[in-house]
Structures are given as C-alpha cells and as structure tokens.
Amino acid sequence: MEELFTQSVKDLGSMYHFSRDELEILDDADKAAEELSKSEFEHYIKREVNPDHKKVLTKHGIIGASVDKRYGGRGANPLVSVLVKERLGQLGMGLSSFINVQMFLGEMMIQRWGTDDQKERYLRPAVRGEKIFAYGLTELEAGSDPSEMQTTYEKRGSRYILNGSKYLITNGSIADNLIIFARSKDNRDEKSAFIVDSKSSGFSIPMRMEEKIGLFTSDTAMPQMDGVEVDEADVFGGIGNGMHVAYSGLMNGRMGVASASIGVIEACLNAVVERAKERIQHGKEIGKHQLIQNHIAEIRQNLEMARWPVYFAAIRKAEYEADPSNESLINELDLRISLAKKIASRLAFESADRAVQVFGGFGYSILSPVGRLFCDSRVARIYEGTDEIQSLKIAEGVLGKDFKAFR
C-alpha cells in the first residue's frame, strides 16, 4: 500500500478499530489508484475525460463502497469513505471530482433521501457501475446563492415538467441520472429536487466546459432541460424540501473535496521528496539545500494540519448518520465540515505551489506531477462552496444563527 496512505490508516487505527472488511476496502482503493495512475496521466496530457474511472473503480468495488450492504454495496462509513477519497486524491482532482459526485453527492444522497423504490432502482445498478450520477444545483446566475435558481418545474398529472439550464456540472454529460434542483413555476420560494434520466426527451448538453485550467480528466457540462418529464416516483427528498436536500448534499461534497485535498498534499510530498533526492544543483542534491528542506517541511506540516480536521469531521458524520434528527449535531457537523474543507483545500493548493517551486522549471508543466496537482487543486477552493462561503459558515457556527450572513 502507498506509504503515506498506510501511515494515515495506521495513525487512525490507533484510535479507531478498522474491521477486516474496512481494511479490504482501503486496500482495494489503493489497488484502484495504482491501476488508474497510468491512464490518468495519459488522458490528462491529452486533456480528455478518463473513461477508465468507472471501469477500474467498479472492478475494485470502490464505486459503490459506501452503499449499504442491503443494496449490494460494502457499507463503508464516512471515515472509510474519506480515506478512500484521500488515496484517490493522490491522482489529482480529476478522478476525485468523478468519484466525489458519484459517491458523496449521488450514492450517499440517494441513501440519505431516496425512497425504498429509488434505492432499489438507483443504488443496486450504481454498485455494478451501471449508473453514473451528477448533481445539478449551480446555474449561471445562481452559484454561491443557489436559492436564486431559475430552473422551474410544474406538475401535470402524475409528472413534473422541468425547464432550465444548469452550469458547471461534474459528470454532466456522462451521467445516467442527475439530481436536479428546481423551483416551482407558480411559487419561486418552493424548491424541490428530482432524479432526471439523461435519456429523457428534452434533455441535452449544449455545451461542455473544455477550457478549464486543470481537472482535464473530469467531465464538466451544462445540462439543459426543455420540457423534461419526470415521474412523481422520481421526486427526490419531497416536494418543497429542495434547499434542505441541496445543503445536505453540499455537506457531503465538501467532505469529499476535503479528503481529496489530503491526497493532493500527499502526492506533492511524494513528488518533492523524490525530486529533492535526485536533482543536483550547486554540487549537491537540492534536498541538501536548507531552503528546499523548508518547502518539504512546510508540505509535511500542511499534511498534518489538513488531515485531522477532516478525520474528525468524518467521525462526527458517522455519529450524525446514526441519528439524523439530532439538530445540535448537524449544526456542529456543518461547522466542522466547513472548517475541514477550507483548511484542507487551501493547504492543498499551497502545497502544490511549494511543490512546483521545488521542481523549478519542470514543475511549470502538466508533464510534471506537481504541475498537474497545482492546476487541479485550485478548484477545491471554489466548488462545493467557495472559501468565502466556508468563512461565512464558520463565522455563523461561532457567532450563532442570528449572525447568518445569507439565507
């Protein structure tokens, strides 16, 4: 198993007893990352979505690892899921974005909010790699404030008709099903979520975001719905409950981004250690120059600072999942997840910046691992809620709900 990842499992193992099944999941995540590393690089430099994500993650039983055993999954709890994401995060945010949406925003959300029928219809095939999910909340004019969404639904008989466009949706053009958020055509304050079939008539992808500054192996698309029909059996989380569902998804998504950020820092550390021992300048390995040692020490320090808030949030999340009605736990969890996401994503970007510096000119290329991590990790400070939104949530957690900065 990869060394820094083994260390994380070992460190946590001194506080948490991993079952044999859980250790097997972690071992499989390691194998999947190992197997994907070559194709991830090849597709990255060609700037194309990596079609192996689904195949390899399914082969190693990772795609549905957090799905309940009742639906054919492996029942990984939030802590184990976070560790899986940490290991996959070492390959960069492209793979991580794919699995974040699939696992944390798709499967975990269906598990939390889905009806029994939805769980049967979506989770079972997802475990077999037969259902890829996307999460469509953001719109062109509704980003940090999703309550401004313009996509509408109206009821006709036993069906809902959706009209509108979503913006920057991960897995948007490769998903079989998308969790789409919309507002009632008659009442703009009523928001609801729907599970939309991408093969529905009226569903299209007029545009993909091709000109990203990183994250090339991940699909980012703008799904459009022109009179898309959704059966009432695919209302997700109840009519009128859309914002509640959306925010619970963002909590999951933030946790996933935070865990992948740990993987990014680990990959930076691995890369700089190797480079520092190999590259010779001024007559000695650059790792013998104290200023390079400082970069390495800072990245190692960042790893330590990033890991624990994420693990702690994951442990609290496991408690919350056992008792989702616990209001005080949800408020604390909200704060902890925002802390974890903001801390880990900033430290990942800072580590990648230092790693590029250690690599010098070669670092300024996507042919180098650190160049790719630098380009990729920037997005972690934006998606699933920007740094600024996390700051507002952290302040609200400290000051209390009366100081909530926005609706």
> Which runs of consecutive H residues, i.e. helices, occur in 155-235?
none
Measuring CA to CA, which residue among 114, 357, 334 is closest to residue 241? 114
Q: 112, exposed or middle or buried, with CB in 10 Å at 0-12, 13-18, 19+?
A: middle
The stretch near ligand FAD (CB under 6 A) out of 25-33, 39-47, 225-233, 384-392 is 384-392
The residue count of the chain comes to: 407
CB-wise, 6 or 386, nearer to ligand FAD? 386
| Dihedrals phi, psi of 261, to nearest 5 degrees | -65, -35
Shortest CB 169 distance to ligand FAD, Å: 5
Task: State which of residues 8, 50, 118, 138 lies at the interface with ligand FAD (CB under 6 A).
Answer: 138
314 belongs to the binding site for ligand FAD (CB under 6 A):
no
Pick 258 or 392: Cβ nearer ligand FAD: 392
Binding string, 148-187, against ligand FAD, x = CB under 6 A? --------------------xxx-----------------
Task: Find the shortest distance in angstroms from Cβ 386 to ligand FAD.
Answer: 3
> At 134, is the secondary structure helix, strand, or coil?
strand
Nearer to ligand FAD, 101 or 340 (CB): 101
Q: Could you give the C-alpha distances from 210 to 99, 120, 139, in angstroms and in order?
A: 19, 35, 17
With respect to ligand FAD, which residue has the nearer C-beta, 269 or 392? 392
Alpha-carbon distance 39 to 18, whole Å? 31
Dihedral of the CA atoms 44, 49, 54, 55 (nearest 10)?
-70
Q: What is the CA radius of gyration of the chain?
A: 21
> Catalytic site residue 384?
yes
**Of the residues 150, 224, 241, 386, which one makes contact with ligand FAD according to CB under 6 A:** 386
Q: Exposure of 332 by Cβ count < 10 A (0-12 exposed, 13-18 middle, 19+ buried)? A: middle
Min dist. Cβ of residue 392 to ligand FAD (A): 6
Measure the CA angle with vertex 312, ends 326 and 249; round to 5°: 55
Minimum CB separation of residue 143 from ligand FAD in Å reads: 2
Which of 215, 243, 255, 260 binds ligand FAD (CB under 6 A)? It is 215
Nearer to ligand FAD, 80 or 110 (CB): 110
Shortest CB 320 distance to ligand FAD, Å:
22
| Complex with ligand FAD: residue 1 or 382, whichever CB lies closer | 382
Residue 229 bridge partners (DSSP): 161
Binder of ligand FAD out of 388, 399, 400, 404 (CB under 6 A): 388
Smallest gap, in angstroms, from Cβ of residue 225 to ligand FAD? 14
Start-end of H helices in 191-326: 242-278, 290-322
The maximal CA–CA distance of the chain, rounded, in angstroms, is 79
In order of 58, 139, 404, the CA distances from 130 in angstroms are: 9, 27, 41
Residue of closest CB approach to ligand FAD: 143
Read out DSSP for 51-118?
A: THHHHHHHHTT-TTTTS-GGGTS----HHHHHHHHHHHHTT-HHHHHHHIIIIIIIIHHHHHH--HHH
Q: Report how far Cα 159 is from the mean position of its chain's Cα atoms.
A: 31
Taking CB under 6 A as the criterion, the residue among 220, 270, 302, 368 binding ligand FAD is 220
With CB under 6 A as the contact rule, the residue among 133, 135, 359, 374 that binds ligand FAD is 135
Residue 253 C-beta: closest distance to ligand FAD, Å: 8
What is the rounded CA–CA span in Å between residue 194 and residue 180?
Answer: 5
- Near ligand FAD by CB under 6 A, which window of 76-84, 134-142, 341-349, 355-363? 134-142
406 binds ligand FAD (CB under 6 A): yes
Residues 399, 124: Cα–Cα separation, whole Å: 43
Catalytic-labelled residue, pool 22, 107, 384, 396 = 384
Could you say whether residue 368 binds ligand FAD (CB under 6 A)? Answer: no
Residues carrying an active site annotation: 384
Report the interface residues with ligand FAD, using CB under 6 A: 101, 135-138, 143-144, 168-170, 215, 220, 379, 382-386, 388-389, 392, 405-406
